Structures are given as structure tokens and as C-alpha cells.
Amino acid sequence: MTEENKNNIKELTKKLLLEIGENPNREGLLKTPHRVAKAWDYLSKGYKQDISTLINNAVFKEEYDQMVLVKDIEFYSMCEHHLLPFFGYAHIAYIPDGKIIGLSKIPRILDMFARRLQVQERMTQEVADMLNETLNPKGVAVILEAQHMCMQMRGVEKKNSYMSTSAMHGIFRDDDKTRKEFLDIIKLEKKF
């Protein structure tokens, strides 16, 4: 984000404060426009990230052909309908076909898509598609489970409901047994 972008966000935030009936000049709010601009700079980082820099050669040739699964990866995103947070856990699996990816890159790919305005459905698909394109694996499965502040703090105010979305490619889509194995593992209790 450029300095100009940040300055514009500061101005917009001052206006927002006025419009909701606040006084942007009272002490507690003086630095709020500055903080909001900084926060949005961070929350929108994903727009400028580029997949090849992010992966940075961490794709390796490997003959392992069983399921690789990372579960309970925390993520935080912003819903594009209300500009309110949604956050939760991602469970991501793939079955390699000659290539594996450095494990730390999976949460980074997730964050690249989370740090944008999103709808959970699209984000799930984008993560699955990106892994599919990058690794050409036998299959990819992504499940996101999230709580949406736009649903919990306003509107229907259902604080215990969460949303689950999934996207599958290849063998996870075509083979019931593989999909079931994935779903059984992600249902297991957290151990640490």
C-alpha cells in the first residue's frame, strides 16, 4: 500500500467516525485513523503477494505418494460483504504425484488468500486450485471452518454457528475411500 493509499484511508476513517456520531478529535480517537490505515495495509497484504516468490523454490521431487495433511491451521480474513472478520481453521491435504511442497508454505498460501476481502466459498476454492496448479498432485482437499462476525455480531446474532466449506480435486473428488480417510482424520481430537 502506498503512502497515498494510507493517507486516504486516514481521511475516510475520520469521516466514518463523524458519520457514526463520534468526535474524531477526542483523545482516544486521535490516532485511530492512523491505526486503521496500518491495519488495512496488513489485512490487504494478500493482493500484492506473488505465488512464485511465496513458494520460493520449496517444491521438491519426491516419490512419496500417500496423503499429506495439515489440519487446524488458523486463519483470519475479512468478509467482502460487510468488511467484518471471519476466522477459523483450515484442513488441507494432498496426495503427491512426484512433487511435494515445504510444509510451511501451505499456511502461507492460505494467508495469501485470507489477507484480502473474501467470501469463504471462494477462498476455499482458491487455495485448492493454487495447490493443484503448483503441485499437479493426484488430489487436493481443502476444508475451511469459520465463524463470521457479520453473522454473530449483527443480523441474526447466532454466536455459536459456524460455516464449513470444502473444495476437492482429483482423487478426493473421485474416490469415496480417500475422501472418507481425509474426513476421518480431520475429525480426530486435537492432541497438542
Residues marked active site are found at 79-82, 120, 148, 150
Residue 191 CB neighbour total at 10 angstroms: 4
User: Do residues 170 and 138 lie in contact, with contact meaning Cβ atoms separated by under 8 Å?
Assistant: yes
Minimum gap (Å) between residue 145 Cβ and Zn ion: 16
Binding site for Zn ion (CB under 5 A): 79, 81-82, 150
Minimum gap (Å) between residue 85 Cβ and Zn ion: 9
Minimum gap (Å) between residue 79 Cβ and Zn ion: 3
Minimum gap (Å) between residue 87 Cβ and Zn ion: 12
- In the complex, residue closest to Zn ion by CB: 150
Angle at 138 between CA 134 and CA 144, to 5 degrees: 70
* Nearer Cβ to Zn ion (103/153): 153
User: Do residues 40 and 158 lie in contact, with contact meaning Cβ atoms separated by under 8 Å?
Assistant: no
* Nearer Cβ to Zn ion (26/81): 81
Residue 15 CB neighbour total at 10 angstroms: 12
Rg over CA atoms, the chain = 20
* Nearer Cβ to Zn ion (71/82): 82
Closest CA to 179 of 132, 137, 146, 143: 143
* Nearer Cβ to Zn ion (31/159): 159
* Residue count of the chain: 192
Distance separating alpha carbons of residues 77 and 126, to the nearest angstrom = 14
